[in-house]
Amino acid sequence: MNQIDIMLEPVRAVLLQFGAFLPRLLLAAIILLIGWIFAKAIRLIVIKALRAVNFNVLTERAGIDRFLHQGGIGTDMVGILGALVYWLVTLAVLMIAFNSLGLTNVTELIGRVALFIPKVIVAVLILAFGAYFARFIDNTIIAYGKNVGLEDVEFLGRFARYAVLIFVVMIALEQVDVASELVRQSFLIILAGVVFALALAFGLGSQHRIAELLEKWWPAHRPGQKNKE
């Protein structure tokens, strides 16, 4: 009998540990279920809120949604932001669940990933607003250049647009700790040169138009004015 008890002692210890672990496992499962439902609800709320403020219109006019569809992505920028918020909430729920199980190493790893998602959300927002601003700059340059009769105005507009886009991408990459300070400073110098070149081009291209306006507003020979000899 003593030999049987000795043989069954490991089994009894395993059953006792399983019995002590089972309530925590059930608690973790409940947390995951409730958290999953909560994450889906938050994603739906975020998507509806972004569409309510016409954020999807901004990304569509900026050309981001068309770029995503051309790349084979079946959702728009609003859907991507909703998915990022969904995974942020899901990772937070996983941290709570694994922490209840006493798996501190796994909780710490998930926490590092969860801290990275807000940076990605900020980077996506910067890309969205930056792309819209770049398109606005493009349209403004083209409209102004055509009014003053500037040649190759569409090229200048596209050039300015892509310059702004590259700058926006650099800011977004810096948010996720990808772009280095040297690369950003180098691009700022290049961008300053591009802006100076564009300003010079507009100044030279519109000088005739400005001269016509000045002549119209303040003619050199006003009616009734006699020339001095």
Q: Is residue 108 part of a domain?
A: no
If asked whether residues 122 and 212 sit together in one domain, one would say yes
If asked whether residues 73 and 148 sit together in one domain, one would say no
If asked whether residues 156 and 211 sit together in one domain, one would say yes
- What's the pLDDT at 126? 87
pLDDT band at 228 (very low <50, low <70, confident <90, very high): very low
Of 78, 102, 126, the domain-final residue: 102
Q: Any idea what the CATH number is for the domain that residue 141 is in?
A: 1.10.287.1260
pLDDT tens-place string over residues 149-201 = 666 677 778 877 887 888 888 888 877 776 556 566 666 666 666 666 656 55
Cα separation of the two ends of the chain = 138
CA torsion sign for 219, 225, 226, 229 is negative
Structural domain range at position 93: 25-102
pLDDT band at 2 (very low <50, low <70, confident <90, very high): low
If asked whether residues 95 and 134 sit together in one domain, one would say no
If asked whether residues 128 and 211 sit together in one domain, one would say yes
Of 33, 67, 102, the domain-final residue: 102
Angle at the Cα of 135 from the Cα atoms of 134 and 136, rounded to 5 degrees: 90
The structure's pTM equals 0.66
Q: Please give the single-letter amino acid code of residue 33.
A: L
Q: Is residue 42 part of a domain?
A: yes
Structural domains of the chain, count: 2
Q: Residue 166 burial (CB < 10 Å; 0-12/13-18/19+)?
A: middle
Contact 173, 179 (CB under 8 A): yes
Percentage above 90 pLDDT, the chain:
13
Q: How long a stretch of residues is the chain?
A: 229
Q: Is residue 13 part of a domain?
A: no
If asked whether residues 141 and 197 sit together in one domain, one would say yes
Average pLDDT over residues 47-68: 86
Of 102, 137, 166, the domain-final residue: 102
Average pLDDT over residues 37-50: 93
Q: Which carries the bigger pLDDT value, residue 28 or residue 144?
A: 28
Q: Is residue 113 part of a domain?
A: no
Q: Is residue 18 part of a domain?
A: no
Q: Is residue 17 part of a domain?
A: no
pLDDT tens-place string over residues 72-113 = 777 888 999 999 999 999 999 988 888 877 777 878 888 888
